[in-house]
């Protein structure tokens, strides 16, 4: 296929696009709405996953040492904790630092340390962070076996429920994306098919006067790409404006709520929506034409 043939097909596609404005606009609107719903569901699922990951990353195991353990012995225990499978970070918190943290939380302004004087009741402790949140309960069990450990706290019961919830959230997210994606594909394909069906007589006449299948197919293929791409551009534009405003409002009202703002991830979503719209428009036209080319 030479350049002049491509140029002619493109001109014919644009001419056909203008001639059938109503169906073309209806198809673009369907593509835009379908991809907007899909994109919104996609962002919702990614934010839910981001929230779950954020909550899991804050899980840690607090290891309280026996009061009989000296400071030197406490510091020498660090390698034992680091050897435990799944431990990503080990942080030593002295009883003096623990008292200061307690005071900061209670806004004591130095009164707690003054009242305690040299009788600090807090033990030295370690904070262990896991490289995988699912390993937290097992790490706690392994830590309890180390000599010099008095008790281990990691939010027993609540952590297991949190992990179960985040796993469910991720599974539900995948199901939602698949269901909405499937619905969007079906809706776009059906609309493109109706667009081609409305011009079945035109296709039949072209076949009867001797036009080849390739000659007929190319303008429809390009027109489908144009409809899909335009609809996808509208969807991406609306989605970006809506999400940007939503992020701004969340940051002003509930700034403690983590929201996905990584532009690389957002641009990847927008790019995939554009590719999906263009692809579905082109493929929908090509598949729908097959039955009408048999004259």
What is the model's pLDDT at position 79? 92
CA 73 to chain centre: 45
101 and 47 assigned to the same domain = no
Judge if 191 and 282 occupy the same domain: yes
pLDDT at site 245: 92
- Average pLDDT over the chain reads 80
What does the pLDDT read at residue 255? 77
Residues 84-98, mean pLDDT to the nearest whole number:
88
Q: For 93-115, what is the mean pLDDT?
A: 69
Q: Mark whether 97 and 241 lie in a shared domain.
A: no
Instruction: Based on the fold, state whether residues 145 and 176 are members of the same structural domain.
Output: no
36 and 75 part of one domain: no
Interval 146-157: pLDDT, tens: 999 999 988 877
- Same domain? For 64 and 33 the reply is no
Q: How confident is the model at residue 189 (pLDDT cuts 50, 70, 90)?
A: confident
Higher-pLDDT residue of 293 and 281 is 281
Mean pLDDT of the region 64-75: 90
Q: Find the distance separating the first CA and the last CA of the chain, reported in whole Å.
A: 24
Residue 114 has pLDDT above 60, yes or no: no
When divided into structural domains, the chain yields a total of 2
Query: Do 130 and 187 lie in a common domain?
Result: no
Out of 129, 153, 177, pick the residue that ends a domain. Answer: 153
Question: Are both 235 and 213 inside the same structural domain?
Answer: yes
Are 293 and 213 in contact by the 8 Å Cβ rule? The answer is yes
> In the listed set 94, 129, 153, which residue is the last one of a domain according to the structure?
153
- Domain co-membership, 137 together with 197: no
Which of 170, 212, 177 has the alpha carbon at shortest distance from 42? 177
Question: What is the extent of the structural domain holding 12?
Answer: 3-55+162-292
Higher-confidence residue of 295 and 257: namely 257
- Residue 70 sits at φ, ψ, to 5 deg, of -75, 170
Q: How far apart are CA 269 and CA 143, in angstroms?
A: 42
Picking from 110, 133, 153, the residue at the C-terminal end of a domain is 153
Q: Are residues 210 and 256 in the same domain?
A: yes
Distance, CA of 178 to CA of 181 (rounded, Å): 5
At a CB cut-off of 8 Å and minimum separation 6, what does 190 contact? Answer: none
Q: How far apart are alpha carbons 132 and 76 in whole angstroms?
A: 25
Range 215-230 average pLDDT: 77
Convert the chain into a string of H (helix), E (strand) and C (coil): CCHHHHHHHHHHHHHHHHHCHHHHHHHHHHHHHHHHHHHHHHHHHHHHHHHHHHHHHCCEEEEEECCCCCHHHHHHCHHHHHCCCCEEEEEEECHHHHHHHHHHHHCCCCHHHHHHCCCCCCCCEEEEEECCHHHHHHHHHHHHCCCCEEEEECCCCHHHHHHHHHHHHHHHHHHHHHHHHHHHHHHHHHHHHHHHHCCHHHHHHHHHCCCCHHHHHHHHHHHHHHHHHHHHHHHHHHHHHHHHHHHHHHHHHCCCCCCCCCHHHHHHHHHHHHHHHHHHHHHHHHHHHHHHCCC
pLDDT mean over 254-271 = 88
Which pLDDT does position 12 carry in this prediction?
Answer: 60
- Asked if 51 and 173 sit in the same domain, the reply is yes
The two three-digit tokens of residue 230, written as one number: 């335009």
Residue 184 pLDDT exceeds 80: no
Question: What is the maximum span of the chain, computed from C-alpha positions, in angstroms?
Answer: 103
Two structure tokens written together for 47: 């934010």
What does the pLDDT average to over 35-62? 86
Q: Report pLDDT for 242.
A: 93
Report whether pLDDT(52) > 70: yes
Residues 187 and 272 in one domain: yes
- What integer pLDDT is reported at residue 34 of this predicted model? 87
Domain at 70, CATH number: 3.30.70.3040
Q: Based on C-alpha coordinates, what's the Rg of the chain?
A: 31
């Amino acid at each position: 296929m030479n350049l002049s043939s491509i140029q002619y097909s493109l001109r014919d596609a644009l001419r056909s696009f203008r001639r059938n404005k109503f169906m073309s606009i209806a198809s673009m609107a369907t593509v835009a709405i379908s991809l907007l719903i899909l994109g919104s569901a996609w962002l919702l699922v990614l934010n839910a996953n981001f929230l779950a990951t954020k909550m899991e990353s804050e899980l840690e195991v607090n290891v309280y040492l026996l009061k009989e353990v000296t400071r030197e012995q406490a510091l020498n225990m660090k390698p034992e904790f680091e050897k435990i499978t799944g431990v990503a970070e080990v942080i030593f918190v002295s009883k003096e630092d623990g008292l200061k943290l307690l005071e900061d939380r209670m806004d004591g302004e130095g009164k707690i340390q003054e009242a305690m004087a040299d009788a600090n009741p807090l033990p030295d402790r370690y904070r262990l962070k896991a490289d995988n949140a699912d390993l937290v309960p097992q790490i706690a069990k392994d830590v309890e076996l180390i000599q010099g450990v008095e008790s281990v706290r990691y939010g027993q019961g609540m952590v297991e429920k949190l992990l179960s919830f985040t796993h469910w959230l991720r599974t539900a997210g995948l199901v939602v994306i698949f269901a909405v994606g499937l619905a969007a594909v079906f809706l776009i394909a059906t609309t493109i098919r109706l667009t081609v069906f409305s011009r079945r007589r035109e296709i039949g006449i072209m076949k009867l006067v001797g036009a080849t299948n390739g000659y007929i197919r190319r303008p429809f293929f390009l027109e489908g790409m144009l409809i899909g791409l335009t609809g996808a551009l509208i969807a991406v534009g609306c989605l970006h404006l809506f999400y940007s405003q939503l992020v701004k409002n969340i940051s002003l009202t509930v700034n403690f709520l983590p929201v996905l703002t990584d532009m690389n991830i957002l641009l990847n979503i927008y790019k995939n929506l554009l590719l999906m719209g263009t692809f579905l428009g082109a493929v929908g036209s090509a598949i729908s034409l097959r039955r009408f080319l048999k004259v």
